[in-house]
């Protein structure tokens, strides 16, 4: 088995291969990760049938935990993994294993393991704070975590504190002497019988609906309305809770609630037609509620019901500032929409953007840290709001927050930047457009249904301190698992346009001097796909072969077979996936690629 791994992954012969590749923690290219996947796949995990067993009936989870500990905790004892969460998606099961040492968790240290529906691991992502030497520091009263500094592991205390000056909670980490080790704002910025009611809302906002520009009649004007803005509303229907003669904007998953100033108690109409205008507080209540309800129904239809948990929505919050946020530090979670400038809850693009942060949090809890990870967090929330907006109207397809922003209050964002990844600034509100533009490109190439499905499944695979190239490859992996890799070339081109990924591989788009249909064929591929027998390439004597190259679906060359060697592929040498085989001829030309599935 070990020889097979080295044969497929020649880069593992590098002396520092384990550390350099593995510490990126972002894809299955390190020795440890590849070996772990093969070891796990070789275990009896593969033969079990998934039927959502009870915790007591999940021996594979304990086996998985033991394999992880054996692989990663070889240098220092008293380290363990515990399951922080398990989530299920259409692709499979997603585990987060929290790292602990001497009874305390190690701050922001964990591993994500993803299993398909047959319980075979297909992806391991690491954000592990490696302990390479014995720790001499002792614990102290009040300690509840360990914190990895540049070189050492120190005892620490993590608390959630309210900052009076900034008016919000911060997650603080202190050492034994009270010195701050880390400070983090956890917020991510931008029942009874139901009865059907009707309401007037923006779909998604007056700028998009009327294909207008901000100015003239399309201005905030201190929250005043006019006939143009009134006529931009559209009639919709949705359920509301009926109680004691009043309708309450409450759902089993979310509700409108006054949380912070300005004090605006949620409306409780008595009539079934909620005909509010934008100069009435009820309009923001109804508008925010409807769009969250509509998106919930959309998620439910696509099988992502668990991505919405209990949420309280303040459509007049954030102390009246021109800002909105999702706060995961409270439960129920909270969404607050500011009222400075254009009221944020009037713009459904803002509503869905902030809801997007909650989806991301629920799919990959505790991973929203690291500069580029947070940049992508904003960019993909921008993608979701534009995808939703495009489902309502094709107008202004690239403008993010087209009513709330792009005006005298602030500039907003766009989903069609010409910036590339090498040109990134490190500033979140600039670089987010690089990521959102690549995702919007994907939407335009393969359509909203498939693109949203890929992005929502990708959410489960987010990891802290990640970067765009690594996560772009996760997006490609999602297409391979959901659509058999049908759209990999098109999606890859979107990431290549932004220079997040290199040129699309030759075998996905074809190359010059391609020789088609020479005298060669792949035999026994079906038995190979089932793991039963080897596959073999048969070549006629008149084919002047130089070598054979085998690539994975993400462009990594795994193996070269020189002319004269047996052209045989053993299934135990390959992890499940799609592979491409290229025959290089002595003339310098290449054959049309062969596709091999394991």
What DSSP letter does each residue of 259-310 carry, written as one string? -SSS--PPP--SSSEE---TTSHHHHHHHHHHHHHHHHHHHHHTT-GGG---
CA distance 185 to 163: 10
Shared fold status for 189-497 and 512-597: no
Q: Which pLDDT does position 1 carry in this prediction?
A: 27
Q: Judge whether 462 and 477 are in contact, CB under 8 Å.
A: no
Neighbouring residues of 534: CB distance < 8 A, sequence distance ≥ 6? 524, 528, 568, 569, 570, 571
Closest by CA to 595, choosing from 482, 475, 507, is 507
Q: Judge whether 97 and 68 are in contact, CB under 8 Å.
A: yes
Domain ranges of the chain: 2-128, 135-185, 189-497, 512-597
Q: Which pLDDT does position 37 carry in this prediction?
A: 56
Rg (CA), the chain: 27
CATH domain 189-497 topology? Elastase; domain 1 (3.10.170)
Q: Judge whether 148 and 106 are in contact, CB under 8 Å.
A: yes
Q: Which pLDDT does position 81 carry in this prediction?
A: 96
Q: Judge whether 579 and 554 are in contact, CB under 8 Å.
A: no
- Low-confidence stretches of the chain (pLDDT < 50) are 1-31, 42-57, 191-192, 510-516
Residue ranges of alpha helices (H) inside 318-427 are: 348-363, 371-392
Torsions phi, psi for 227 (to 5 deg): -65, -35
CA distance 571 to 535: 8
Q: Within 10 Å of residue 53's Cβ, how many Cβ atoms?
A: 13
Q: Which pLDDT does position 408 carry in this prediction?
A: 95
Q: Starting at the edge strand that comes first in sequence, how are the strands of the sheet with 194-202 ordered?
A: 246-248, 233-243, 194-202, 273-274
Q: Per the structure block, which two tokens stand in for 139? A: 């614990």
Residue 538, classified by CB atoms within 10 Å of its CB into exposed (0-12), middle (13-18) or buried (19+), is exposed
**Omega before residue 386 within 30° of 0, cis:** no
Q: Judge whether 128 and 72 are in contact, CB under 8 Å.
A: yes
Question: What is the torsion angle, in degrees rounded to the nearest 10, for the CA atoms of residue 85, residue 371, residue 352 and residue 214?
Answer: 180
Helix H or strand E encompassing 208: helix 206-209
Closest by CA to 344, choosing from 354, 334, 356, 332, is 354
Q: Judge whether 332 and 311 are in contact, CB under 8 Å.
A: yes
Q: Which pLDDT does position 118 carry in this prediction?
A: 87
Q: How many residues does the chain have?
A: 598
DSSP state of 211: T
Q: Which pLDDT does position 413 carry in this prediction?
A: 97
Q: Which pLDDT does position 497 carry in this prediction?
A: 94
CATH domain 512-597 topology? Immunoglobulin-like (2.60.40)
Question: Cα 60 to chain center, whole Å?
Answer: 26
Q: Within 10 Å of residue 82's Cβ, how many Cβ atoms?
A: 12
Q: Judge whether 352 and 388 are in contact, CB under 8 Å.
A: yes
CA distance 12 to 14: 5
Q: Which pLDDT does position 523 carry in this prediction?
A: 87
List beta partners, residue 564: none
Torsions phi, psi for 568 (to 5 deg): -120, 135
CA distance 181 to 173: 5
């Amino acid at each position: 088995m070990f020889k097979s791994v080295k044969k497929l992954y020649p880069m593992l012969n590098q002396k520092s291969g384990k550390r350099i590749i593995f510490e990126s923690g972002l894809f299955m290219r390190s020795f440890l990760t590849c070996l772990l996947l093969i070891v796990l796949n070789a275990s009896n995990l593969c033969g079990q049938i998934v039927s959502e067993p009870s915790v007591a009936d999940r021996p594979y989870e304990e086996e998985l935990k033991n394999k992880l500990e054996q692989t990663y905790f070889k240098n220092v004892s008293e380290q363990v993994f515990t399951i922080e969460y398990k989530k299920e998606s259409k692709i499979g099961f997603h585990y987060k294993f929290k790292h602990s040492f001497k009874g305390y968790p190690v701050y922001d240290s964990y591993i994500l393991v993803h299993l398909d529906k047959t319980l075979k691991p297909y992806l391991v992502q690491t954000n592990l704070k490696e302990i390479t030497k014995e720790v001499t520091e002792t614990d102290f009263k009040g300690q509840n975590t360990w914190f990895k500094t540049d070189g050492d592991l120190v005892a620490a205390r993590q608390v959630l504190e309210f900052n009076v000056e900034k008016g919000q909670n911060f997650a603080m980490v202190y050492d034994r002497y009270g010195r701050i080790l880390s400070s983090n704002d956890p917020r991510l910025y931008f029942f009874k019988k139901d009865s059907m009611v009707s309401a007037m809302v923006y779909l998604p906002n007056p700028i998009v609906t009327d294909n207008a520009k901000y100015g003239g009649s399309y201005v905030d004007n201190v929250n005043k309305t006019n006939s143009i803005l009134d006529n931009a509303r559209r009639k919709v229907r949705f359920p509301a809770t009926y109680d004691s003669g009043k309708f309450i904007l409450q759902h089993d998953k979310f509700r409108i609630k006054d949380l912070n100033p300005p004090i605006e108690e949620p409306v409780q109409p008595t009539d079934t037609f909620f005909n509010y205008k934008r100069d009435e507080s009820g309009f923001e209540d109804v508008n925010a509620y409807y769009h969250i309800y509509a998106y919930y129904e959309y998620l439910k239809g696509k099988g992502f019901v668990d991505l919405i948990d209990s949420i309280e929505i303040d459509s007049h919050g954030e102390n009246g500032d021109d800002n909105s946020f999702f706060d995961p530090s409270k439960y129920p979670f909270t969404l607050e929409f500011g009222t400075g400038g254009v009221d944020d809850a009037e713009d459904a693009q803002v509503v869905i953007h902030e809801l997007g942060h909650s989806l991301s949090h629920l799919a990959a809890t505790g991973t929203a840290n690291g500069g580029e990870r947070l940049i992508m967090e904003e960019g993909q929330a921008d993608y979701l709001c534009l995808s939703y907006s495009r489902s309502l109207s094709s107008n202004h397809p690239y403008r993010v927050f087209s009513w709330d922003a792009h005006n005298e209050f602030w500039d907003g964002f766009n989903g069609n930047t010409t910036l590339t990844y090498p040109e990134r600034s490190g500033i979140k509100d600039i670089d987010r457009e690089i990521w959102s533009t690549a995702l919007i490109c994907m939407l335009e190439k393969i359509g909203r249904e498939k693109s949203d499905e890929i992005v929502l499944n990708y959410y489960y695979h987010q990891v802290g301190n990640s970067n765009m190239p690594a996560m772009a490859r996760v997006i490609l992996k999602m297409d391979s698992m959901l659509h058999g890799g049908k759209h990999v070339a098109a999606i890859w081109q979107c990431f290549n346009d932004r220079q997040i990924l290199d040129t699309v591989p030759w075998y996905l788009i074809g190359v010059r001097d391609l020789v088609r249909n020479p005298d060669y064929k792949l035999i026994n591929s079906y038995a190979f796909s089932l793991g039963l027998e080897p596959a073999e390439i048969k070549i006629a004597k008149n084919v002047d072969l130089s070598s054979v190259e085998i690539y994975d679906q993400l462009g990594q060359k795994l193996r070269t077979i020189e002319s004269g060697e047996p052209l045989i592929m053993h299934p135990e040498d390959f992890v499940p996936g799609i592979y491409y085989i290229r025959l290089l001829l002595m003339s310098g030309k290449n054959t049309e690629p062969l596709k091999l599935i394991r």
